[in-house]
Amino acid sequence: MTSTLFSPIKLADLALENRIVVSPMCQYSADDGSATDWHLGHLAMLANSGADLVVVEATHVERRGRITHGCLGLYSDDNEAALARVIAHCRRVGTAKLGIQLAHAGRKASSYRPWEGGLGLKQDDDPWETIAPSAIAFGNAWSAPRAMTRDDMDRVRDAFVASARRAVRLGFDAVELHMAHGYLLHSFMSPIANHRSDEYGGSHAARLRFPLEVARAVRAVVPPSLPLGARITGSDWSEGGLTPDDAVALAKALKEMGLDFLCVSSGGITAEVKIALGPGYQVPFAEKVRREVGIPTRAVGLIATPQQAEAILADGKADMIALARAMLDDPRWGWHAAQALAGDVKRPPQYARAAPKLAGSGLSRLTGAGGRETVEVRMVRSSAIAMLFAVMTLCACAEGASAKNARARPSAAHRSASATGQAVMRKKPPVAPTPRQDEKSWMDRASTPSDSGGGGGGM
């Protein structure tokens, strides 16, 4: 029987050989929005995961739209040049197509990295003014944002358009808009965050007005041949918030506007929201949107095993599967899924000796009931991946050092306040994650899929 997970799908003119997607996952390791050597190694690793589409983390359309000082951006020539280097490397060494998620954090901006606590920045750590539909803070640990004016909305819309143009110029295979997880576009749609009394607040249609303006403007500059999609919310998980029916209404509007696919996530509208997490807990939202709107959908959220992913697709609950934490745990998830489901994936020729041949090797005897890996096999695999990643990173650093002097320094416009009054945020070097005793606690508290308190990822 042919695996649905390993069957092809077409989005606009983009032909994908399987339905595995690496979900956008914030890395908090950029330098004033510019990708670094961390991104070079991280994305190159995922480009050989067996997924046929890897979506770059939430990439912010303006400096003040970043979640943290370390978030990726596509708002300057420096950002574009740095990302071009990463994309070129992934194309050379990887097998996957590449997508990008464009985002604005809104009132969730000006925050610490997750491993620094994930809360709003304190005065000594270079915070900046945040913007939102209404002057309502995300939580007690965040400053209240400034309610956006029409001029703010025009600037943000144009910033999305400018970043989309850069994404097209960089040669991305797909573009998606982040309309979930409590970030700016989602906050306009949710009655929890949007208390406006003008034409952008009140009724559901009015609250959709600005997000749809952004989507329409971006669709106008992304060629029809290039798939444009969005990550939307299936539920605010909060009384008085958005519901699955609201997700269907938004999906219908986006489909009419010419969007090609949707990824249906949930949560993140306030810091207090708690979600009862469980395997595939967001799949019913994707199923409802797919069934009632008839647009290709991605399911995301605690999808971990090949059998689980296959069942979701085979039962018609979604058209694609997005994986995040499962891919970080096993960067060859697609290879192992192909082996489990009798599918096939592209592999670099350097690795042609691996995967299928292991089924007949001594390593196969180290699997337990149901084909689960024992600790020994997991250790062997993890060690090999770690060694590969280390080598790639060392090579990337060497390449980066030679190119460093050629990189243009930030322009005067980036070093001084803009004409719109935007505050200048001091650049800070990426901070490598360090183990902390409370690290598990913030992961357990995370109410948005695989954001780890921030970015654009599904579990």
The tens-digit pLDDT sequence of the chain (459 residues) is 689 999 999 999 999 999 999 999 999 999 999 999 999 999 999 999 999 999 999 999 999 999 999 999 999 999 999 999 999 999 999 999 999 999 999 999 999 999 999 999 999 999 999 999 999 999 999 999 999 999 999 999 999 999 999 999 999 999 999 999 999 999 999 999 999 999 999 999 999 999 999 999 999 999 999 999 999 999 999 999 999 999 999 999 999 999 999 999 999 999 998 898 999 999 999 999 999 999 999 999 999 999 999 999 999 999 999 999 999 999 999 999 999 999 999 988 888 887 555 554 444 333 333 444 443 444 445 445 544 554 454 454 545 544 444 444 444 433 333 333 344 344 444 444 433 333 333 233 333 443 433 344 444
How many alpha carbons lie under 13 Å from residue 386 in its C-beta half-sphere?
Answer: 7
pLDDT at position 356, please?
59
Following DSSP, what letter does each residue of 296-364 receive, concatenated?
-EEEESS--SHHHHHHHHHTTS-SEEEESHHHHH-TTHHHHHHHHHT------GGGTTSGGGGGGSGGG
Nearest to 428 by CA among 110, 103, 84, 100: 110
pTM for the complete prediction? 0.82
Q: What are phi and psi of 356, to 5 degrees?
A: -55, -35
Catalytic: which of 75, 112, 183, 281?
183
Q: Tens digit of pLDDT for each residue in 375-405?
A: 344 444 544 554 455 445 445 454 554 444 4
Catalytic-residue membership of 183: yes
The Cα 330–Cα 345 span in angstroms is 15
Nearest to 367 by CA among 385, 342, 340, 334: 340
Which superfamily does CATH assign the domain made up of 13-349+422-445 to? Aldolase class I (3.20.20.70)
pLDDT at position 274, please?
87
pLDDT at position 379, please?
41
Q: Tens digit of pLDDT for each residue in 315-342?
A: 999 999 999 999 999 999 999 999 999 9
pLDDT at position 55, please?
98
Cβ atoms of residues 150 and 52 within 8 Å = no
**Chain centroid offset of residue 129 CA:** 24
The CA distances from residue 221 to 155, 165, 166, 227, 342, in Å, are 16, 7, 10, 12, 40
pLDDT at position 354, please?
78
Which tokens sit at 198?
Answer: 């003008």
The Cα 86–Cα 226 span in angstroms is 20
Handedness of CA 14, 6, 345, 90 (dihedral sign): positive
